[in-house]
Amino acid sequence: MPSTIYFIRHGETDWNAEGRLQGQHDIPLNARGVAQAETAGRILARLVADPGRLPWLASPLARTRKTAEHARGALRLDPRGYETDARLMEIRFGDWEGLTWPEVTNRDPEGAAAREADKWGFRPPGGESYDDLVTRIAPFFDALEGDNVVIAHGGVARALVAHRCDVPPERAPHLDIWQGRVLVMQGRSYRWV
């Protein structure tokens, strides 16, 4: 049986609730995000007999570290029992970080139109494209051995599903990536629990 990645997207932040592009800004979880992290931990316990035996790997941003800590806490595991890797950081939105999409379209209508035309390949000013993100995360995920728990971001999940599960690049940026659930990836298939 191929190894499994149990992917948890960080819980909600105030910027998520406001529809702001977070990128690599270090925005903390809100109360709903904490509850979502704990829920994801409990879901993981239903999927894995002993989640504490698996490696836990997280983006170094606060929202992912706190998600890992709350998920582990819900399982009565040492909250600090995870490692971080900078390659798991969210896609950079550059000059657009902190803006809502209506603000982006108002300030940079040409850039917004270009992104809508090619969401996978477009690179915001000072930012990354999804194609750039795959280049960053692929070596990390390709080197994983055995089953792992990974706590990261929505953009990372979209890029990973395109890279590992053959989801076409034109479709991947439009996938819903849920908070408070677990994305189970095994071989070239994926499912939400």
At residue 148, φ and ψ (nearest 5 deg) are: -145, 150
Pick the catalytic residue from 63, 65, 70, 115: 63
Catalytic pick from 12, 69, 90, 97? 90
Residue indicated by tokens 């995870």: 82
Catalytic residue check, 10: yes
Residue 25 annotated to the active site:
no
> CA-to-CA distance for 78 and 121, rounded, in angstroms?
40
- Quick check: 58 and 140 in contact, CB under 8 A? no
- Tallying the residues shown for the chain, one arrives at 193
Q: How many CB atoms lie under 10 A from the CB of residue 72?
A: 24
To the query of whether residue 63 is one of the catalytic residues in this protein, the response is: yes
153 is catalytic: yes
Alpha helices, H only, 109-189: 109-117, 130-142, 154-165
Q: What are phi and psi of 20, to 5 degrees?
A: -90, 145
Residue 16 CA to residue 31 CA, distance in Å, equals 12
Which of 20, 153, 163, 164 is flagged as catalytic?
153
**Would you tell me the crossing angle of helices 31-47 and 62-74 to the nearest 10 degrees?**
50
How many Cβ atoms sit within 10 Å of the Cβ of residue 38? Answer: 19
Known catalytic membership, residue 16: yes
* Residues acting as catalytic residues: 9-10, 16, 63, 90, 153
